[in-house]
């Protein structure tokens, strides 16, 4: 017998919160991006777990699409970061506060 | 947690090892000072997640995870780190924004607790096997392919367009602004 | 001949319209002549109509001009009521009015707004005629308001002077209080009778309950007190002397102030149903007469003495009406119009001759320089003092006899007042026309010289347009009593007014013997007062012990009103302005703005610009949603 879905979900939840806290705490833009990837992975893990539990292949298809979109997102995001860092090297997330009200 | 103990020993071992890799890698990503170290810890996490995928019978996805995530995306991160020079060590200890860290930790702990509480409840209902059985006989790739190319065909096509857009966007965003050309044009017109 | 009635109000109205349009172009003195001829024409029309009425044996008739408010069962028409009472009023309003218009031509000469003065005067005559010729309460009220408005316009004619402007306001506002009483009375009449036309109302008078009739009459009295300057609403009349003297003569001596007496006489049928109201009227009149007479003894302004004198004489008329002697009251009204107008016009002549000096203490011995003015003024003085055979003697004694019949206390007050009247008028005549000339030497001469305006330094007689009316009025004051001599058949006025007021007048007055003895002792008192006054005031003008401060300040009534009415009003206004307007309303409007601004400022602190703070917000929201789900499914 394999392991029931419960622990997998707990691992996914822990991964998600670590990624979220990292996003909130780190200032380096690339590290923040990596934390986003952590969160996406946690979601993928949950999807796969539920696909096995509900015996539905649709969960794995969702993971497929999540990965595609994550790839596209990383491409664009890094392009933006490159564009920002051309102006001002060594910038952190805190330096981009021009929308202060 | 008795279902965990009721599992076979190899499965339990694999699960524990992979989970340890995932969580330690995640923590490493967050606390590493150097961004390159963070990237390496990220690879560790991705590998752990791939193992967990395999443990649950999602073979194809595990492979795609390694190839795409660990092989392409993290490499992309590393390229940008090298080319742009975002490689200064960040002063992780200091936090200029007040209350950010304590609040972040508190909210994280709270969310984790809530999710754990929610996961205890058996509230997933509905018919199984709507999109085809995931477990049981047959190759995982075949089943996944059948699902993507029939039931989720539109999503597939749209994501392919999305990828093209992403490529175009990246090229446009990352090119150098044509500053010298416009000033030449202005001088010619005088 | 009665059909000419519509001309009576029409001619002054046409004069008014013509002067409004072309007055400026006509200028000085042509505008004045147009106005005078309009009123003189109205007088001729009044005479014709009165003769026509006499031919019809004083049988009242109505001439309809147009239907104004035909509303279901309620009709108000613009009609002229031709009956003895209204014709009496019309005759002396237009007659005396025409004389005063003639006088004003000369008096107002040189004024920058000369045509406008006559515009207002004609409008006034028209309103007064509307008042007395109306056949229903509504048209009468229109005329009532019209004369109030004209009074305001004329009293504050020289509005550059703040005293004149505020006097006009005071007159209008005080009259308004009275008008409230009149309007409420009209409402009550309509509520109980269903009509406001004199005929139906007086026919239904017998059916009114005693309480209702008393209430109506007391409210009408309030209105009359305002218009005729009785206690407690007299305060506007002394201040109204700020207006030009022809205005004082016309409005505040002969015509407008008599509107109240006219109203009381007109509603005689109602008064017959309310004896308590009649007694109140008599007491109000007596008290006012005595009060005003005491104050007049200590005034130094030549016109103020006459103003208080007017209030006092009007009190006599109210005393008569309240005692049920309508004819006596109306008789005194007519004679009073003659001699009071004469006195005011004479005073105006004195002021004109003394180059706008009005303080009697700075006059003296003017009979040598202004013979016609002084002779006519002396005639007026003798008339008002009640010296036989001048007009005032006969009318005043009729009133005192009626008062004696009503109550001894009333008579006594009237008797004492008669003595005071003789005294203060003698004081005035002695100070102005006799004694030493106090204007030629030292400080007085400098004062006179400063007011020269091209005249000589000495006083001078007035032009003919001013002394001809004086002479005419003097003749009327001398012989005017013949309209109602106390013996039959010379009591024309009594027989003339009989159809209107005869049924409601006191049937049997005191016996002839009592009347004669009362008249005798009153005359003795009057002559004694004259002698005393002359002896005291001819010698010297300084007798401050006879002019106590309390009288000079009119028993401090004006300051009392200011404290009781004005101060609370001022405090309320200040409260409204500071607390309610500034604090509450402005505060809440500004408060809303501050609220918006402050809340915006506080909310802006959320927008730090740091992405990580926004991410923290998202995380907080997520935690909250998860908490909600956990709670719901627990």
Chain C partners (3+ C-beta pairs within 8 A): A, B
Structure tokens at C410: 């009333």
Structure tokens at C183: 């309007």
Using the predicted structure, report yes or no on whether residue B129 has a pLDDT greater than 70: no
Q: Mean pLDDT across chain C, nearest whole number?
A: 85
Q: Is A20 on the interface with C (CB under 8 A)?
A: yes
Whether residues C630 and B118 touch (CB distance < 8 A) is answered with yes
**Is the model more confident about B158 or about C439?**
B158
| SS3 of residue C356 by DSSP | coil
Whether residues A100 and C606 touch (CB distance < 8 A) is answered with no
Consecutive H or E run containing C258: none
Contacts of A99 in chain C (CB under 8 A): 607, 609
Angle at B32 between CA B29 and CA B34, to 5 degrees: 115
Whether residues A24 and C616 touch (CB distance < 8 A) is answered with yes
Task: Write the CATH number of the domain with boundaries A5-89.
Answer: 1.10.287.3510
Q: What pLDDT is stored for residue C532 in this prediction? A: 85
CB C145 within 8 A of CB C179: yes
Structure tokens at C201: 């109302």
d(CA B65, CA C111): 110
- Residue reference for tokens 């109030």: C148
Whether residues C612 and A93 touch (CB distance < 8 A) is answered with yes
For chain A, the structural domain boundaries read 5-89
Whether residues C630 and B97 touch (CB distance < 8 A) is answered with no
Using the predicted structure, report yes or no on whether residue C120 has a pLDDT greater than 60: yes
Considering only the beta carbons, identify the residue of B114, B121, B123 that sits closest to C623.
Answer: B114
d(CA B67, CA B69): 6
Q: What pLDDT is stored for residue C4 in this prediction? A: 81
How far does Cα C225 stand from its chain's mean position? 9
Considering only the beta carbons, identify the residue of A20, A93, A101 that sits closest to C611.
Answer: A93
Q: Which of residues 50-79 of A touch B (CB under 8 A)?
A: 50-61, 63-65, 67-76, 78-79
Nearest-CA neighbor of B97 among C511, C142, C616? C616
What CATH class does B1-88 carry?
Answer: mainly alpha
Considering only the beta carbons, identify the residue of C608, C609, C612 that sits closest to A24.
Answer: C612
Q: How many residues does chain C have?
A: 634
- Residue reference for tokens 């390496």: B40
Q: Which of residues 7-26 of A touch B (CB under 8 A)?
A: 7-11, 13-22, 24-26
Using the predicted structure, report yes or no on whether residue C358 has a pLDDT greater than 90: no
Q: B4-40 pLDDT, tens per residue?
A: 455 688 889 999 999 999 999 999 999 998 889 999 9
Q: Is B123 on the interface with C (CB under 8 A)?
A: yes
Residue C488's pLDDT band, with cuts at 50, 70 and 90, is low
Nearest-CA neighbor of C118 among C10, C44, C37? C37
**φ and ψ at C67, to 5 degrees?**
-80, 125
Considering only the beta carbons, identify the residue of C608, C612, C616 that sits closest to A100.
Answer: C608
Contacts of B55 in chain A (CB under 8 A): 2-3
Q: What pLDDT is stored for residue C194 in this prediction? A: 84
Q: How far is B97 from chain C (nearest CA, A)?
A: 8
Mean pLDDT, rounded, for C228-253 = 87
pTM, 2 dp? 0.68
Considering only the beta carbons, identify the residue of B4, B90, B130 that sits closest to A58.
Answer: B130
Q: What pLDDT is stored for residue B88 in this prediction? A: 64
Whether residues C623 and B118 touch (CB distance < 8 A) is answered with no
Nearest CA in chain B to A9: B119
CB A11 within 8 A of CB A45: yes
Q: C526-554 pLDDT, tens per residue?
A: 888 888 888 888 777 777 777 777 787 87
Residue C356's pLDDT band, with cuts at 50, 70 and 90, is confident
Could you tell me which residues are beta bridge partners of residue C64?
C79
Q: How far is A78 from chain C (nearest CA, A)?
A: 17
Mean pLDDT, rounded, for B149-162 = 93
Mean pLDDT, rounded, for C90-116 = 89
Q: C506-525 pLDDT, tens per residue?
A: 655 667 778 888 888 888 88
Consecutive H or E run containing C306: helix C302-322
**φ and ψ at C56, to 5 degrees?**
-90, 15
Contact residues for C386 (Cβ-Cβ < 8 A; gap 6+): C392, C393, C396, C397, C418, C421, C422, C522, C523, C526
Using the predicted structure, report yes or no on whether residue C385 has a pLDDT greater than 80: yes
Structure tokens at C321: 């009406």
Structure tokens at B107: 């909210």
d(CA C237, CA C259): 14
Q: B63-90 pLDDT, tens per residue?
A: 999 999 999 999 999 998 888 766 566 6
Q: What pLDDT is stored for residue B124 in this prediction? A: 61
DSSP state of C301: B
CB C185 within 8 A of CB C208: no
Q: C195-219 pLDDT, tens per residue?
A: 888 888 888 888 888 888 889 999 9
Q: Which of residues 112-141 of B touch A (CB under 8 A)?
A: 112, 115-116, 119-120, 124, 126, 128-136, 140
Mean pLDDT, rounded, for C491-507 = 74
Q: Which of C251-260, C301-310, C563-572 has the highest mean pLDDT?
A: C301-310
For chain B, the structural domain boundaries read 1-88, 140-178
Contact residues for C509 (Cβ-Cβ < 8 A; gap 6+): C325, C401, C402, C405, C515
Residue C452's pLDDT band, with cuts at 50, 70 and 90, is very low
Whether residues A26 and B90 touch (CB distance < 8 A) is answered with yes
Q: Is C611 on the interface with A (CB under 8 A)?
A: yes
- Percent of all residues in chain C with a pLDDT value above 90, rounded to a whole number: 24
Q: Is A96 on the interface with C (CB under 8 A)?
A: yes
Peptide bond into C29 cis (omega under 30): yes
Nearest-CA neighbor of C372 among C388, C349, C341? C349
CB A57 within 8 A of CB B131: yes
Using the predicted structure, report yes or no on whether residue C276 has a pLDDT greater than 60: yes
Dihedral sign, Cα of residue C397, residue C398, residue C404, residue C407: negative
CB C268 within 8 A of CB C504: yes
Consecutive H or E run containing B150: none
Dihedral sign, Cα of residue A33, residue A39, residue A41, residue A43: negative
- Residue reference for tokens 């509900």: A54
Q: Are strands C61-71 and C74-82 parallel, antiparallel or unpaired?
A: antiparallel
Q: What pLDDT is stored for residue C558 in this prediction? A: 79
Using the predicted structure, report yes or no on whether residue C118 has a pLDDT greater than 50: yes
**Is the model more confident about C464 or about A33?**
A33
Q: A15-66 pLDDT, tens per residue?
A: 999 999 999 888 888 899 999 999 999 999 999 998 888 888 889 999 999 9
| SS3 of residue B91 by DSSP | coil
d(CA C175, CA C145): 9
Q: C397-437 pLDDT, tens per residue?
A: 888 888 888 888 888 899 899 999 999 899 888 888 887 77
Using the predicted structure, report yes or no on whether residue C454 has a pLDDT greater than 50: no
Under the phi-then-psi rule, with left for phi > 0, alpha for psi from -120 to 50, and beta for the rest, what region is C548?
Answer: beta
DSSP state of C388: T
Q: Is A71 on the interface with C (CB under 8 A)?
A: no
Integer-rounded Cα radius of gyration of chain C: 31
């Amino acid at each position: 017998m394999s392991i029931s879905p419960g622990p997998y979900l707990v691992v996914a939840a822990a991964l998600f919160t670590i990624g979220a806290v990292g996003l909130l705490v780190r200032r380096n833009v690339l590290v923040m991006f990596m934390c986003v990837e952590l969160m996406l992975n946690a979601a993928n893990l949950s999807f796969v777990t539920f696909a096995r539990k509900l015996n539905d292949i649709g969960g794995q298809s969702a993971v497929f699409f999540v990965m595609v979109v994550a790839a596209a997102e990383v491409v664009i995001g890094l392009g933006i970061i490159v564009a920002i860092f051309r102006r001002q090297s060594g910038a952190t997330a805190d330096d981009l506060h021009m929308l202060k009200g | 947690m008795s279902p965990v103990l009721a599992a076979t020993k190899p499965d339990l071992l694999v699960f524990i090892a992979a989970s340890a890799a995932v969580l330690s890698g995640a923590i490493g990503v967050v606390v590493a000072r150097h961004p390159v170290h963070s990237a390496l810890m990220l690879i560790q996490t991705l590998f752990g997640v791939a193992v967990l995928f395999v443990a649950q019978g999602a073979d194809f996805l595990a492979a795609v995870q390694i190839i795409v995530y660990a092989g392409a995306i993290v490499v992309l991160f590393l390229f940008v780190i090298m080319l742009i020079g975002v490689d200064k060590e960040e002063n992780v200890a200091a936090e200029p924004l007040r209350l950010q860290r304590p609040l972040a930790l508190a909210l994280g702990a709270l969310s984790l607790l809530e999710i754990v509480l929610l996961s205890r409840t058996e509230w997933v209902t509905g018919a199984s096997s709507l999109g085809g059985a995931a477990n049981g006989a047959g190759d995982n790739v075949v089943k996944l392919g059948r699902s993507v190319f029939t039931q989720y065909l539109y999503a597939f096509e749209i994501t392919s367009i999305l990828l093209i857009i992403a490529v175009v966007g990246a090229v446009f965003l990352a090119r150098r602004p044509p500053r010298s050309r416009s000033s030449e044009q202005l001088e010619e017109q005088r | 001949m009665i059909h000419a009635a519509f001309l009576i109000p029409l001619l002054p109205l046409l004069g008014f319209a013509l002067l409004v349009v072309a007055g400026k172009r006509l200028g000085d003195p042509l505008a004045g002549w147009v106005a005078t001829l309009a009123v003189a024409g109205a007088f001729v029309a009044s005479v014709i109509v009165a003769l026509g009425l006499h031919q019809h044996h004083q049988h009242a008739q109505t001439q309809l001009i147009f239907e104004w408010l035909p509303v279901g069962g309620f009709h108000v028409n613009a009609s002229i009521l031709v009956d003895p009472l209204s014709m009496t009023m019309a005759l002396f309003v237009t007659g005396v009015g025409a004389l005063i218009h003639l006088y004003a031509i000369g008096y107002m000469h040189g004024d920058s707004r000369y045509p406008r003065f006559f515009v207002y005067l004609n409008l006034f005559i028209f309103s007064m005629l509307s008042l007395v010729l109306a056949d229903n309460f509504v048209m009468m009220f229109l005329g009532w308001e019209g004369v109030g408005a004209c009074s305001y316009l004329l009293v504050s004619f020289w509005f550059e002077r703040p005293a004149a402007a505020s006097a006009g306001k005071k007159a209008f506002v005080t009259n308004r209080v009275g008008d409230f009483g009149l309007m409420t009375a009209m409402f009550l009449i309509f509520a109980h009778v269903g009509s406001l036309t004199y005929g139906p109302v007086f026919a239904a008078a017998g059916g009114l309950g005693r309480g209702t009739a008393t209430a109506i009459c007391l409210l009408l009295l309030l209105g009359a007190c305002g218009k005729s300057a009785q206690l407690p609403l007299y305060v506007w009349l002394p201040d109204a002397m700020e207006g030009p003297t022809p205005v004082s003569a016309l409005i505040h001596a002969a015509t407008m102030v008599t509107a109240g007496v006219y109203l009381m006489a007109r509603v005689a049928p109602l008064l017959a149903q309310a004896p308590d109201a009649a007694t109140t009227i008599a007491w109000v009149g007596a008290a006012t007469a005595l009060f005003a007479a005491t104050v007049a003894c200590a005034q130094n302004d030549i016109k103020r003495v006459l103003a208080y004198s007017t209030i006092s004489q009007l009190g006599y008329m109210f005393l008569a009406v309240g005692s049920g002697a309508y004819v006596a009251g109306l008789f005194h009204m007519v004679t009073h119009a003659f001699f009071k107008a004469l006195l005011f016009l004479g005073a105006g002549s004195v002021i004109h001759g003394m180059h706008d000096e009005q303080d009697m203490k700075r006059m003296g011995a003017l009979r040598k320089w202004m013979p016609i003015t002084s002779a006519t003024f002396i005639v007026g003085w003798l008339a008002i003092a009640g010296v036989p055979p001048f007009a005032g003697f006969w009318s005043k004694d009729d009133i005192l006899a009626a008062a004696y019949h009503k109550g001894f206390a009333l008579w006594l007050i009237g008797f004492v007042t008669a003595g005071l009247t003789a005294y203060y008028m003698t004081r005035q005549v002695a100070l102005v026309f006799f004694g030493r000339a106090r204007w030629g030497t030292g400080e007085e001469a400098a004062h006179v010289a400063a007011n020269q305006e091209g005249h000589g330094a000495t006083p001078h007689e007035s032009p003919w347009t001013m002394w001809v009316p004086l002479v005419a009025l003097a003749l009327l004051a001398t012989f005017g009593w013949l309209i109602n001599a106390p013996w039959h058949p010379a009591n024309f006025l009594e027989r003339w007014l009989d159809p209107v007021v005869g049924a409601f007048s006191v049937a049997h007055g005191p016996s002839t013997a009592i009347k004669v003895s009362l008249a005798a002792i009153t005359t003795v008192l009057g002559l004694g007062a004259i002698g005393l006054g002359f002896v005291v005031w001819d010698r010297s003008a300084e007798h401050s012990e006879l002019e106590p401060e309390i009288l000079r300040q009119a028993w401090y009534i004006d300051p009392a009103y200011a404290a009781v009415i004005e101060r609370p009003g001022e405090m309320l206004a200040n409260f409204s302005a500071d607390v309610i307007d500034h604090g509450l309303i402005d505060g809440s409007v500004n408060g809303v703005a501050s609220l918006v601004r402050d809340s915006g400022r506080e909310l802006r602190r959320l927008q730090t610009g740091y992405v990580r703070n926004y991410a923290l917000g998202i995380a907080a929201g997520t935690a909250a949603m998860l908490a909600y789900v956990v709670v719901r499914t627990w």
